[in-house]
Structures are given as C-alpha cells and as structure tokens.
Amino acid sequence: MPQREPARAVLGMLGEASARALLAARLRGAPAGEVFPRPRFVAVLREVAKPGLPAIGEQLSRIDPDGVEPGADAALAEDLLRALPEVADEGLGRVVARFLRHMAPAVRRAAAAALPGLLGARSKIPLVHALDDVDEGVRAAALAATRVIRAVDEDVVTRVDDLLNGGAPWSDELRAGAAGALADVRESAKARAVDALARAIRPKSRSLVTFFKNDADNESPLVLTTVARVLLNIGGAEGRKHVERRLAASRGEIKKALSELLSG
C-alpha cells in the first residue's frame, strides 16, 4: 500500500519506542479470524535496527530457550531471532546462543543465522555444536554461519567429512552445501579438506543393475559437481587429478558436468 513506506520510515526514526510498539502488537496477535503478518513484522522490526535491540533482548529473555512446550512462544522466538540486525552485542549473543537447544528446529535455525552478527568469531563454538544437530536446516544454517565468520577449521572439516562420507542418508542439498563450505577452509585445515573431498568424489561401487544404466553414476550430480568445483579451487594440481580420475570413471550427466568444469 502507498502509505506503508512513510509509516515504516516513521517507525525507523522512533527507534526503541517503535520496537516496543511492534512487540506489543505482536504479543496481542491478530484479530479473530485473521492471521498475523509475521514476515512483515520481522521486516519492519529489523529496519528499526540497533535501537530495537534492548526491547528484542528483553522479550527473548522471557522465553524458555529449551522450548519444552513449544507453541506460540516458538513462533515468537523465531520472529525475534530473524528480526535481529547485524550489530555486535555480546550479552544478547549469549541469550541467542541458548536458543540453539530449543525444541523447535525453526528456532534453532534462526538462532544459528543470527549469531555471527552478534558475536562474530566468538560464535564459533556454539555453531560447531549446531553442526551436529538432528535437523538438516539447522546444520545448513550453522555451516553458512561458520563461513560468514571465516571459521571453517579442522572441527568444521571433520563434520563436513562425516556429512559427505559417513554414509548417513543426508539430502543432496545439505551435502552439497557442506562441500561448498570447504571453499572457505582455513589454510591449516586445507590438506584435511582436500582429503575429505577426494574420498567423496571417488566412484562408489555399483550393482549389476546400475552398471547397465545409461548414466552409470548412481550419485548426485549436484554433490559431485560441487565437490569437484571446490577441489579445483583449493586442491591445486592434486585436486585436479582427483577430478580427472572421476571424469574417466564417469558417464552421462556427471561426465559432461565434470568435463565442463575441467575445461572451464
């Protein structure tokens, strides 16, 4: 609506008072028969930025971070965490880190995404713990956050190795995201990262049925091409050799994709 932008500008100018008014409206909820506009609430509260931090922090501190009985509080916690601007605040960062143990995965995801802006490099320890979460979305958010704070070290590589080579049925999207995170690996952990990627790109044993398939590779093109791209990026000549070996053993879509990467 045309009048919405001026109203949002006024809210931004009023700072903390605006944040408290928005929170009061969020706590009242929508009138009967209507749905509260959560995405709009998050967007506007985020625009208030740093002046709104005290009000958000107070409200988060009132919510049980364990979420033993997740319900309305879980949705509120998620919205508040998503509304946090990227402003350094150690005290609020400690509050947010507690929500990494909340029962609701959406809350844990939002907490992982918010931590780098609040704690910077000091968010590394809780984020590494979040890489062991049972929820794929939380792991993905924690991986992205470790890249933001440039903390892809041996601890992170160990967990990426498990995602790529541990044998658990993780989704292709998570495994590709884990491989992609190694593009930002620290120099001290680069050799270990290359080893993990090299094992991930090796051809897996095939059954008689898959042997006669046209594509022959019964593996994810998304994962393999991401692994190959990162190997070429961080692995130097050794990384290129691993990709070339996989190309020689591949057929179909994967062979085409790897060939394009090597020629590119």
**Do residues 105 and 99 touch, judged by C-beta distance below 8 A?**
no
Q: What is the pLDDT of residue 217?
A: 52
Q: What is the pLDDT of residue 228?
A: 98
Per-residue pLDDT reduced to its tens digit, 185-206: 999 999 999 999 999 999 876 5
Positive or negative CA dihedral for 131, 135, 136, 141?
negative
Per-residue pLDDT reduced to its tens digit, 73-125: 999 999 999 999 999 999 999 999 999 999 999 999 999 999 999 999 999 99
Distance of CA 152 to the CA centre of its chain: 13
Greater confidence (14 vs 176) lies with 176
The CA distances from residue 84 to 5, 95, 138, 146, 224, in Å, are 20, 12, 17, 18, 36
Cα-based torsion angle of the residue sequence 102, 108, 110, 114 in order, rounded to the nearest 10 degrees: 90
Q: What is the pLDDT of residue 227?
A: 98
